[in-house]
Amino acid sequence: MSHQPPVSCIPNTGKMSKAKKVIEEAKENNNPEIDLVDKGLSSLDEIPGLFSLANITRLSVSHNKIQVVPAALANLANLEILNLANNYITELPVSLSSLPKLRILNVSLNRLNGLPRGFGSFPVLEILDLTYNNLNEKNLPGNFFIMDSLRALYLGDNDFEYLPAEIGNLKNLQILSMRENDLIEVPRELGQLARLRELHLQGNRLVVLPPEIGSLDLASNKSVLRLEGNFWVPHIEDQLKLGPSHVLDYLRSETYKVLYSRHMSAKPAPPPQTLDKSKKASRAA
Amino acid sequence: MPGLATMSLDNMFCTRCGDGFEPNEKIVNSNGELWHTNCFVCAQCFRVFPEGTFYEFEGRKYCERDFQVLFAPCCGKCGEFVIGRVIKAMNANWHPSCFRCEECNVELADAGFIKNGGRALCHTCNARIKADGLLNYMCHKCHGVIDGEPLRYRGEVYHGYHFTCATCGVELDHTAREVKHRPGYAANDVNNLFCLRCHDKMGIPICGACRRPIEERIVTALGKHWHVEHFVCAKCEKPFHGHRHYEKKGLAYCEQHYHQLFGNLCYVCNQVIAGDVFTALNKAWCVHHFACSVCDAPLSTRSKFYEYDERPACRRCYEKFPAELRRRLRRAHHYTIRR
Ligand SMILES: [Zn+2]
Ligand SMILES: [Zn+2]
Ligand SMILES: [Zn+2]
Ligand SMILES: [Zn+2]
Ligand SMILES: [Zn+2]
Ligand SMILES: [Zn+2]
Ligand SMILES: [Zn+2]
Ligand SMILES: [Zn+2]
């Protein structure tokens, strides 16, 4: 670990021994769920015996100072839940994607500037939380949208201007959050996500929605549709004041189909970028 | 009707837009629900209902034209919309008077029908045709009459004894199996007949539903093999076609019917919740999994939590969020309350 700044090489012995204690207790009690939340950890390599706990199903290391996710984490072949939220992670090893049982991955509140090539090959991933990073459509790997086992995809607080049309491949998606990105447009293919029950589009730069969204079941009392804080055309804005279900009704109308196709062929300049992201913690060097 | 005049305008609101009414404004009262005249419109075309006639479906009102376009099925025979009693049969919808025996033209809606070679027949015609069919099979090779079941091969019928098993040479009968495709073989090499025993030994999987060999795409589930189109929801009988299925007592269900029959699925483990259910934010959790979505710390019904993309975040996590994110979440929270 010679490339790391010297300050992180002086392990905070008090905190380290706490982590060590967690691991030893887990070994003794055969506890399959490891909690190392808020332990001041700067590296997972420093925790003796962690990678040999082959039978653990959950590892939670939120609220630490981890910068590097070691590739050896993929040795934990029984892992179903991996929670890395609120650390200093800038990149992930592709080995994670081969975890055969991983169902929930949380890398929210980190500093991801991209994802490794081949990231999408998780065999059974159901919930992927990448909220609050520096991701956009250009730094997603090519196979991102083959993850058709996903039930929930959280991409809020990132830098997407466009949502790739391949989103339509995620046939099992029930929840999609694109809250507070820079979205200028969402694709018609969103309308193919027949199971979608939660769609968060608030705080973007959207002007119109594809009419296909109107066919989604987003108006029931178990559904969530968040649209506020965009630059909607007046007709959508008026319906939104009555409630999101009125917007869906309107999107289904013949009038709107005409309006939408006119808008799309006129290609007006996108609204300005309004969110000031310079203060985001994910931007910290 | 509870006299409109006696109600105060102050607590009368439009069912659609939620706004109040002006004094002297004309108010539509439909089954006790009040509407602005401008708001009492078709949910599809936003026009007032011609002659006041509307159709209600799933809580929405539609004009006759849009209701028919959206929801009324078309009759499989005459092509007109079916309003009123719909007969659902043979993968189509019918007026009761349009659904008739394809042999004798008797109405089938109440008498019931039998599917025979893709046709809907009354019981009498079906019995007759079945009997005729058995008598009339003629062998494609010797042109003699076939007693009992024929052997079917490349679309023709034969006496079984004209053929022998391609593997063991035994004389065949109607139980022989024709193999059309086999991975790694050209079509002409496998288009052959086998006795049941040899066929089984070839390891060609058998569909758990129709008991026929599976020679194309195969689904393996519930410890059996299935034709893609025969692996279906036990309730609605729709094929899963690669969509997730849920198992219970050896049967498979689509998500919708699994929910309907067996209750909530836990947001974390995606399993049906057997014991106590925590519900919040349009989701449900089992006792073991109701936890903060940021740190996985368990929550209880009494825990205070913050909403974060419609998921719970515990107080400790919320306080560790970047200040600028907390500010935005607070603003969003105010928006939701105002709504
Ligand atoms: Zn109104
Ligand atoms: Zn008819
Ligand atoms: Zn013959
Ligand atoms: Zn044989
Ligand atoms: Zn079958
Ligand atoms: Zn079903
Ligand atoms: Zn659970
Ligand atoms: Zn928490």
Which backbone phi and psi does A175 adopt, to 5 degrees?
Answer: -130, 130
B176: its two tokens: 């022989």
Q: For chain A, list the domains and their CATH numbers.
A: 22-232 (3.80.10.10)
Chain A environment of B45 (Cβ under 8 Å): 253-254
Question: Strands B283-286 and B305-308, how do they pair?
Answer: unpaired
Average pLDDT over chain B, rounded to an integer: 83
**How confident is the model over B154-181, as pLDDT tens digits?**
888 899 999 999 889 899 998 888 877 6
**How confident is the model over B66-91, as pLDDT tens digits?**
877 777 778 888 888 887 788 888 88
Q: Which of A56, A65, A83, A255 to mutate to test the interface with B (most CBs of B within 10 A)?
A: A83
pLDDT band at B332 (very low <50, low <70, confident <90, very high): confident
Question: How far, in Å, CA of B290 to CA of B294, rounded?
Answer: 12
- Structure confidence at residue A8 (pLDDT): 39
Question: How far, in Å, CA of A91 to CA of A125, rounded?
Answer: 19
Nearest CA-CA distance, residue A39 and chain B, Å: 12
Q: Beta strands of chain B (E only): which ranges?
A: 27-30, 33-36, 55-57, 60-62, 87-89, 92-94, 114-116, 119-121, 151-153, 156-158, 177-179, 192-194, 218-221, 224-227, 246-248, 251-253, 277-280, 283-286, 305-308, 311-314
pLDDT band at B32 (very low <50, low <70, confident <90, very high): confident
> Is the model more confident about B105 or about B201?
B105
- Is pLDDT of B333 > 50? yes
Question: How far, in Å, CA of B60 to CA of A143, rounded?
Answer: 41
- Structure confidence at residue A4 (pLDDT): 43
Cβ separation of B44 and A104 shorter than 8 Å?
A: no
Strand partners, B157: B152
Interface of B with A (CB under 8 A): 16-18, 43-46, 60, 242-244, 255, 268, 270, 282, 293-297, 309-310, 316-317, 320-322, 324-325, 328, 332, 335, 339
Burial of A138 (0-12, 13-18, 19+ CB in 10 A): exposed
Percentage of the residues of chain A whose pLDDT score is greater than 90: 72
- Is pLDDT of A12 > 50? no
> pTM for this structure?
0.61
**How confident is the model over A184-216, as pLDDT tens digits?**
999 999 999 999 999 999 999 999 999 999 999
Minimum Cα–Cα distance from A33: chain B residue? B296
Number of H helices, E strands in chain B: 7, 20
pLDDT band at A10 (very low <50, low <70, confident <90, very high): very low
Residue A258's contacts (CB-CB under 8 Å, 6 or more residues apart) are none
> Is the model more confident about A110 or about A28?
A110
- CB of B205 within 8 A of CB of B182? no
The single-letter code of the amino acid at A238 is D
- Structure confidence at residue B2 (pLDDT): 45
**How confident is the model over B109-155, as pLDDT tens digits?**
888 888 887 889 998 888 877 766 656 678 889 988 887 788 888 88
The single-letter code of the amino acid at B140 is H
The single-letter code of the amino acid at B147 is D
Question: How far, in Å, CA of A227 to CA of A17, rounded?
Answer: 47
- Structure confidence at residue B293 (pLDDT): 96
In 3-state terms, what secondary structure has residue B13? Answer: coil
Report the phi/psi class of residue A108: left, alpha or beta, with left for phi > 0 and alpha for psi in -120 to 50.
Answer: beta
Among candidates A58, A246, A253 on the partner chain, residue whose Cβ is nearest the Cβ of B296: A58
Within chain B, residue ranges assigned H as helices are 64-70, 123-136, 187-190, 196-201, 255-262, 315-320, 323-338
Q: Which of A82, A150, A154 to mutate to test the interface with B (most CBs of B within 10 A)?
A: A154
> In what helix (H) or strand (E) does residue A264 lie, and over which residues does it extend?
helix A254-266
> In what helix (H) or strand (E) does residue B212 lie, and over which residues does it extend?
none
In 3-state terms, what secondary structure has residue B163? Answer: coil
Say how many Å lie between the CA of residue B209 and the centre of ligand 5: 5
Nearest CA-CA distance, residue A245 and chain B, Å: 10
In 3-state terms, what secondary structure has residue B172? Answer: coil
The single-letter code of the amino acid at A45 is D
Say how many Å lie between the CA of residue B104 and the centre of ligand 2: 17
pLDDT band at B317 (very low <50, low <70, confident <90, very high): very high
- Structure confidence at residue B18 (pLDDT): 84
pLDDT band at B208 (very low <50, low <70, confident <90, very high): confident
Kindly list the protein residues that place their beta carbon closer than 5 angstroms to ligand 4, a single-atom ion: B 165, 167-168, 170, 195, 198
pLDDT band at B248 (very low <50, low <70, confident <90, very high): confident
- Structure confidence at residue B23 (pLDDT): 83
Q: Which of A86, A133, A256 to mutate to test the interface with B (most CBs of B within 10 A)?
A: A86
- Structure confidence at residue A5 (pLDDT): 43
ipTM of this predicted complex? 0.90
- Structure confidence at residue B48 (pLDDT): 85
- Structure confidence at residue A7 (pLDDT): 40
Cβ separation of A198 and B328 shorter than 8 Å?
A: no
Percentage of the residues of chain B whose pLDDT score is greater than 90: 19
- Structure confidence at residue B335 (pLDDT): 59
- CB of A137 within 8 A of CB of A184? no
pLDDT band at B38 (very low <50, low <70, confident <90, very high): confident
Ligand that comes closest to the CA of residue A60: 8
